A and B are shown apart, each in its own frame.
Chain A
Amino acid sequence: MMAAVAAAILVSVLGLTACSSSSGGSSGNGKSLGQSADAIQKRGVLKAGVKIDVPKFGYKDPGTGKIDGFEVDLVRAVAKKILGDPNKIELTGVTAKTRAALLDNGELDLVAATFTITEDRKKSLNFTDSYFTDGIAIMVKKSSGLTGLKDLDKKKIGVAKSATTKARLQEKADPLGVKPEFLEFDSYPEIKAALDAGRVDAFSVDGAILYGYLDDSTQILPDRYSQEEYGIATAKPKTDLAKVVNDTLAEMKSSGELDQLKQKWGLK
Chain B
Amino acid sequence: MAGFTELLLQGMSIVLRAENLRFLLKGVGVTLELSLEVILISFLLGVALGILRYARVPVLATMAATYVEAMRNSPMLLLILAAHFALRLTAWNSGVAGMSLYTSAVLAEVVRGGLNSIDRGQWEAARAQGFRYVQILWHVVLPQALRRMIPPIVSQFITVVKDTAYVWLIGVDELTGRAKIIMGAHAEAVIALFFTIAVVYFIVNYVLSAMARSLERRYWARSF
A interface with B by C-beta (< 8 Å) = 52-55, 59-60, 62-65, 92-95, 97-98, 101-102, 104-105, 107, 186-190, 192-193, 196-197, 212-213, 215
Encode contact with A along B108-135: 1 for CB under 8 Å, 0 otherwise: 0000000000000000000000000000
Known: A52-B173, A62-B182, A107-B90. A98 touches B188 (CB 8 A): no
Q: Are B184 and A93 in contact (CB under 8 A)?
A: no
Q: Are A101 and B184 in contact (CB under 8 A)?
A: no
Known: A93-B171, A98-B84, A98-B170. A60 touches B187 (CB 8 A): no
Closest-CB distance, B56 to chain A (whole angstroms): 39
Residues of chain B within 8 A (CB-CB) of A213 are 184, 187
Known: A94-B171, A102-B91. A53 touches B187 (CB 8 A): no
B 164-216 contacts with A by CB, 8 A: 169-171, 173, 178, 180-185, 187-188, 190
Known: A65-B23, A101-B85, A196-B190. A60 touches B173 (CB 8 A): yes
Q: Are B173 and A62 in contact (CB under 8 A)?
A: no
Is B20 an interface residue, CB under 8 A from the partner?
Answer: yes
Query: What is the predominant secondary structure among interface residues of chain A facing chain B?
Result: loop
For chain B, the count of residues having a C-beta within 8 Å of the partner chain is: 25
Q: Are B184 and A92 in contact (CB under 8 A)?
A: no
Additional pairs, 10, CB under 8 Å, beyond known A95-B171, A98-B91: A52-B184, A60-B173, A62-B20, A63-B23, A97-B85, A102-B171, A104-B88, A105-B89, A196-B187, A212-B184
For the complex, what is the distance from the CA of A52 to the CA of B183, rounded to whole Å?
A: 11
Known: A52-B181, A53-B181. A189 touches B170 (CB 8 A): no
Is B72 an interface residue, CB under 8 A from the partner?
Answer: no
Q: Are B84 and A63 in contact (CB under 8 A)?
A: no
Closest-CB distance, A247 to chain B (whole angstroms): 29
Residues of chain A within 8 A (CB-CB) of B178 are 62
For the complex, what is the distance from the CA of A188 to the CA of B185, rounded to whole Å?
A: 11
Residues of chain A within 8 A (CB-CB) of B6 are none
